[in-house]
Amino acid sequence: MTDARFDALCIGNAICDVFSHVEEDFLVRENLVKGAMRLIDTDEALTLYGKMGQTVRVSGGSAGNTAAGIASLGGQPAYFGKVAKDELGETYAHDMTGTGVHFKTTPLVNGVPTARSMILITPDGERTMNTFLGACTEFGPSDVDQEIVAASAITYMEGYLWDPEEAKKAFLAAAEIAHQNGRKVAITLSDAFCVDRYRPEFHGLIKDGVVDIVFANDHELKSLYETADLETAISAAEATGILTALTLGENGAMAISPQGRVKVDAQTIDEVVDLTGAGDLFASGFLFALARDYDYKIACELGCLCAASVIGHVGARPERSLKDVALQDGFSI
């Protein structure tokens, strides 16, 4: 990773995931759009929680998951995100630092609680997310530690940062510092509904050179370019002249760049238990490889390996050392 202290700095909404298994008809009864992330207020959060059965709690947040994945690969990640000074927030910080992520964002005192996302897993492994943003709404430019940004090969940020007003400013501030220091800036489009909310602004980020790399899945890319045809979306991504890391679910992944397209197949896995974190962990592998100057093919392959390892269990954080998984799979990282 050349002279950078950190492979990647990940910035996002610091959220605790509260998982519960539900049947399909639960989503119908609650009028929820399957596979989507929606934002909910305190009242909605309490009502929905009251209807959920057995829960499992794991630290989450898209970029947080990505940072944990990089650490698990043996990389050096940093993370910015706002938790509150409460039990969930303490757990979040423990899980980050305990796995080797540099995480020093000051927690919020005497304000709203740590964010939580109630994630409903249907029998097909799909997840429907209901997020109460809590302390994330207090994350802003003052939380952007310039030294860390400057020391990170890539600053990777969530499209979800567009949801809390001040976080968007933090995104732009971090991007500027990264570029001033000759570093790369990446965005993940987060989800197709997020793209729908902020499409013109995301186009602006690409056109204006605020971001150098775009992470997306097929739904998100099609949403960005407002087309139902994947090939049309890929061509549009190609025309931007910047790197797009595209995940294609069971069809693998593709790196799209001025040097052409590189496509790899997905890993075969026994059973999909929970798709939460597949995209986040793909980004872990891809970013790690990029920061260490591996080529796009290896980046895609390592991304797919990390994604496969996380969908066999509940939760979006690795349960085993991804470095060990990669070494066993023949990678020499």
Site residues (CB under 8 A) for its own copies? Answer: 21, 49-59, 68, 86-88, 91, 94-95, 98-100, 123, 270-271, 273, 313-315, 317-320
| Max Cα distance, the chain (Å) | 54
Q: Which is nearer to its own copies, 297 or 320 (CB)?
A: 320
What element of type H or E holds 303? helix 296-310
Q: How far is the CB of 317 from its own copies (least distance, A)?
A: 5
Q: Which is nearer to its own copies, 42 or 55 (CB)?
A: 55
Q: How far is the CB of 130 from its own copies (least distance, A)?
A: 15
92 Cβ contact list (under 8 Å, min separation 6): 14, 16, 59, 64, 83, 114
CB 193 within 8 A of CB 162: no
73: phi then psi, degrees, rounded to nearest 5: -80, -5
Q: Which is nearer to its own copies, 107 or 318 (CB)?
A: 318
- HSE (side-chain half, CA atoms, 13 Å) at 333: 35
First-last CA distance in the chain: 12
**Pair of tokens at residue 129:** 């997310």
Question: Which residues make beta-bridge pairs with 261?
Answer: 256
Tell the residue number behind the tokens 């829960």, with chain if given: 55
Q: How far is the CB of 39 from its own copies (least distance, A)?
A: 22
Q: Which is nearer to its own copies, 69 or 252 (CB)?
A: 69
Q: How far is the CB of 167 from its own copies (least distance, A)?
A: 24
Q: How far is the CB of 16 from its own copies (least distance, A)?
A: 9
CB 248 within 8 A of CB 262: no
Q: Which is nearer to its own copies, 52 or 272 (CB)?
A: 52
CB 117 within 8 A of CB 108: no
Q: Which is nearer to its own copies, 56 or 173 (CB)?
A: 56
* Helix, strand, coil share of the chain (percent; to 5): 45, 20, 35
Q: How far is the CB of 139 from its own copies (least distance, A)?
A: 22
Q: Which is nearer to its own copies, 227 or 321 (CB)?
A: 321
Q: How far is the CB of 197 from its own copies (least distance, A)?
A: 31
CA dihedral sign of residues 70, 285, 244, 137: negative
The Cα–Cα gap between 213 and 226 comes to: 19
